Structure 1
Amino acid sequence: MHTVLLLPYFGLLALSLAYENLALKQPTYQQDPVVGSFASLYEASNAVDGLKSDLSSSGGQCVHSSGKQTGTWWVNLTSILSIHYVTIYYMTNNDTWGSSSDYTRTFLGFSLYISNTTDRSKGTLCYKDSNYTSSTIPPVVNITCPVHGQYVIYYNERLANVSYPPDYFTYGAYNLLCEVEVYGCRPIPRFDGIKCHASCPDPYCRQCNMDACQGCKPGYQGHLCERGYTLCTCV
């Protein structure tokens, strides 16, 4: 489990200068999308279009699902990348955010996963909300999760015959996401994922993150890629 940092906007801006938004314009999916005449207004891709000036349900910049027992949305980064943190902008309907809003109640209990597949159970659970109330959950959440992965998965649930805290909206789980930004590094030779521009400290490391080697160059193995071995083709 990783940490959630609730930073002021200028703090997020400063952090983002060191990383690239890997999710921007990438393929997306959402479970149980809205159908009918409003379907185009709530497409899954709205959460990675780079637009977050209108956080309303009618602005065409947010995702909205149809509210079943579970709600899943993911973005496919198209390859396994070094991720540092994820920022979620939730739908507010441009109204006062707080305990009087149903939007806060739908946000409660959400989880964030990073996985190499679309199966969240096989990935890393970055965060599971179990402490917020409708009075304390913010509309913008910054989740630090320094791992490698291809799919960033948002999940929430409102299961039948399960008791939830009184603040929770219990008439279905919704994906009300206006923007999901995934900050990290794209692969370049021997990059250090925590800095994006610095070389890995180990000369035989192919890829590293936070100064820890994540993969050795061909012909090397070990924690620091310090042991060489012979590559051969057996017949």
Structure 2
Amino acid sequence: MLRIGDASNAVDGQKSNLSKNSGHCVHSADTETATLWVNLTSIHNIEKVTIYFMTDNKQYVSSFQNQSSFLGFSVDVSNTTDRLQGTLCYKDTNFTLDTIPAVFTAVCSVHGQYVIYYNERLSKKTYPENYYHFTNNNVCEIEVYGCPATGCYGSNNSLPCPYENCQQCHKQTGTCQVCKPGYKGQQCKLECETGKYGVNCSKSCGNCLKQRQCQNVDGFCSKG
């Protein structure tokens, strides 16, 4: 069953019909802030993000309300649903009613779990004259390109990170940037020292009878 306006429509893979009633677009009421999260379920090496705006299958004209409500949008990638804790990949400061495209791609070579589309029209803030005084989530599709697995690199995102315990590696060189929980070092071959665990060995075991009984990956106390 088609869900008119449902947020899941932004990731259903359907982008041939960019109209409000197609059942393949997100539609929300006009508001001061608009946010859409795409949860990749784990941290991935992202290359680019493409957004299909709702156009009602019409050519943009300067009076088209949706178009003016899109102006000023941003794209962030974060490890949480808080965009401010992540990386700003793109912030629109230059598009006009005549130049904003129906399909936009932001190059975004970062690691993250959440791709976040955001826009705002805050009541106490002044915006350019051609901005509509509200914004919304009228988006038909958000596509995220990059590694299909947690750790990979290369021009086609097809090479696994070269070190077994590497969680995130550099997109071009394969150099490890983040080790899997419980490991450290340039090649992620070293286990956390006694009493430490987690990503980058940054957490301390505080509830085990003896620190050496603390698992380096998750901090589990093997003997109580």
Q: Aligning the two structures, in what range does the TM-score lie when normalised by the shorter sequence?
A: 0.7 to 0.9
- After TM superposition, the structure 1 stretch with the greater mean CA deviation from structure 2, 209-218 or 142-151, is 209-218
- After TM superposition, the structure 1 stretch with the greater mean CA deviation from structure 2, 81-90 or 157-166, is 157-166
SS at match of 2:127: coil
Contact preservation (8 Å) 1:90, 1:139? yes
Segments of structure 1 that go 5 or more residues without pairing to the other structure are: 1-38
Contact preservation (8 Å) 2:49, 2:145? yes
Is 1:102 aligned to 2:80, yes or no?
no
Match 2:114 to one of 145, 151, 155: 151
1:234 maps to 212
Instruction: Give distance in 2, aligned partners of 1:218 and 1:158.
Output: 40
SS at match of 1:180: strand
Alpha-carbon deviations, 1:103-157, whole Å to 9, x = none? 2111100011111111111111111111111111111111111111111111101
1:216 maps to 179
Instruction: Give distance in 2, aligned partners of 1:173 and 1:218.
Output: 40
Is 1:140 aligned to 2:103, yes or no?
yes
Alpha-carbon deviations, 1:169-219, whole Å to 9, x = none? 11x21111000001111326x621653222546687453132242223688
- After TM superposition, the structure 1 stretch with the greater mean CA deviation from structure 2, 205-214 or 159-168, is 205-214
Give the 3 Å change call, closer, same or farther, for CA 218–126 of structure 1 in structure 2.
closer
Alpha-carbon deviations, 1:47-80, whole Å to 9, x = none? 1001111111121111011111111111111111
Instruction: Give distance in 2, aligned partners of 1:196 and 1:207.
Output: 12
Is 1:59 aligned to 2:34, yes or no?
no
Contact preservation (8 Å) 2:111, 2:168? no
Match 2:168 to one of 201, 204, 207: 207
Structure 1 residues 3-18: aligned runs within 5 Å: none
Higher relative contact order (CA 8 A, sep 6+): 1
SS at match of 2:3: helix
Instruction: Give distance in 2, aligned partners of 1:130 and 1:160.
Output: 19
2:46 maps to 83
RMSD: 2.5
2:140 maps to 178
Instruction: Give distance in 1, aligned partners of 2:139 and 2:20.
Output: 10
Instruction: Give distance in 2, aligned partners of 1:177 and 1:234.
Output: 52
TM-score, normalization by structure 1: 0.73
Segments of structure 2 that go 5 or more residues without pairing to the other structure are: 195-210, 214-224
Match 2:7 to one of 37, 44, 49: 44
Q: Which amino acid aligns with 2:153?
A: D
Contact preservation (8 Å) 1:88, 1:142? yes
Alpha-carbon deviations, 1:70-97, whole Å to 9, x = none? 1111111111111111000000111111
Instruction: Give distance in 2, aligned partners of 1:143 and 1:86.
Output: 5
TM-score, normalization by structure 2: 0.76
Paired positions, count: 194
Contact preservation (8 Å) 2:166, 2:179? yes
